[in-house]
């Protein structure tokens, strides 16, 4: 999620936003940029991608909502809906997202819609299934206002994971580590940066897990982290998650449902 700051004397404002592969970076524009973070999708955690993908020949349709309480300002931003459709193929997935954001801060209100595209591919799976490595790309289009292109973000990432098992059989936790890079293009200017991320999942049961993830700070780009609970029943098409997160001093809350369908 992002921290949105409005100057009291102008209709333009500065935005710190989470886009593409989870990057926050300040810039100025005439419309609000998205506070939603669609990159993780149904196979990621709160703010980071993982090596997991949608099962081959399956579709995963997700519907969620996020709410941001903007610290130091009288206002909030709400993302409703956040919709994603992803398709899994052998060792990978592709998908698209739609986001509608409503912002109300210090008497200023706006409503904006955004679109994203993403793809992920697992380059390596160990024979025992414990270790995996994947790369991915994500494109975030900010749209236009009165014929003016508001910009876009192209994101690339590499991530690895390791699964801990009890008695070398039952999974009890997964550890994720990776690095992301972004090129943010706004008003003819481009900014590029990269930073690492980390995450962990603890499996309380075959169906329920808790997760935490952390995205490091880079220069003026804020760090972010989330805590979440996931319910993913085995051999059932419907799963759910709920969580809370922080970016700078802003607090975000998110919930989501995912329905999986298609040929197995």
Has residue 83 got a pLDDT over 60?
yes
- In this prediction, residue 9 carries a pLDDT of 27
The pLDDT score that the predictor gives to residue 40 is 62
Least confident of 5-14, 88-97, 212-221: 5-14
**Percentage above 70 pLDDT, the chain:** 82
Q: Report residue 78 as tokens.
A: 């709400």
Kindly tell me if the per-residue pLDDT of 2 is higher than 50: no
Give CA–CA dist 110/124, Å, rounded: 44
Domains and their CATH numbers in the chain: 3-262 (2.40.160.40)
Question: What gap in Å lies between CA 153 and CA 34, rounded to an integer?
Answer: 11
pLDDT at 32: 33
Q: Which of 31-45, 86-100, 177-191, 245-259 has the lowest mean pLDDT?
A: 31-45
pLDDT of residue 247: 75
Q: What is the pLDDT of residue 248?
A: 73
Q: What's the average model confidence in pLDDT over 102-124?
A: 87
Sign for the CA dihedral angle at 6, 248, 112, 253 comes to: negative
């Amino acid at each position: 999620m992002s921290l949105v700051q409005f100057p009291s004397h102008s209709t333009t404002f500065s935005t710190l936003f989470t886009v593409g592969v989870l990057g926050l970076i300040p810039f100025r524009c005439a419309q609000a940029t998205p506070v939603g973070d669609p990159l993780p999708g149904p196979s990621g955690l709160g703010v980071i991608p993982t090596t997991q993908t949608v099962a081959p020949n399956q579709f995963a349709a997700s519907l969620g909502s996020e709410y941001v309480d903007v610290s130091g300002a009288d206002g909030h931003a709400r993302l409703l809906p956040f919709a994603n459709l992803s398709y899994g193929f052998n060792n990978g997935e592709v998908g698209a997202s739609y986001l509608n954001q409503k912002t109300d801060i210090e008497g200023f209100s706006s409503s904006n819609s955004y679109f994203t595209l993403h793809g992920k591919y697992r380059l390596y799976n160990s024979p025992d299934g414990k270790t995996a490595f994947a790369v991915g790309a994500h494109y975030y289009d900010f749209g236009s206002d009165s014929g003016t292109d508001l910009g876009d973000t192209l994101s690339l990432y590499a991530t690895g994971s390791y699964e801990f098992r009890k008695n070398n059989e039952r999974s009890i936790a997964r550890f994720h580590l990776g690095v992301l890079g972004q090129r943010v293009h706004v008003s003819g200017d481009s900014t590029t940066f990269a930073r690492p991320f980390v995450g962990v999942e603890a499996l309380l049961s075959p169906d329920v897990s808790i997760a935490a993830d952390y995205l490091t700070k880079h220069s003026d780009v804020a760090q972010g982290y989330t805590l979440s609970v996931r319910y993913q029943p085995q051999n059932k098409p419907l799963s759910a998650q709920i969580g809370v997160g922080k970016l700078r001093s802003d607090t975000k809350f998110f919930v989501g449902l995912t329905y999986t369908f298609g040929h197995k």
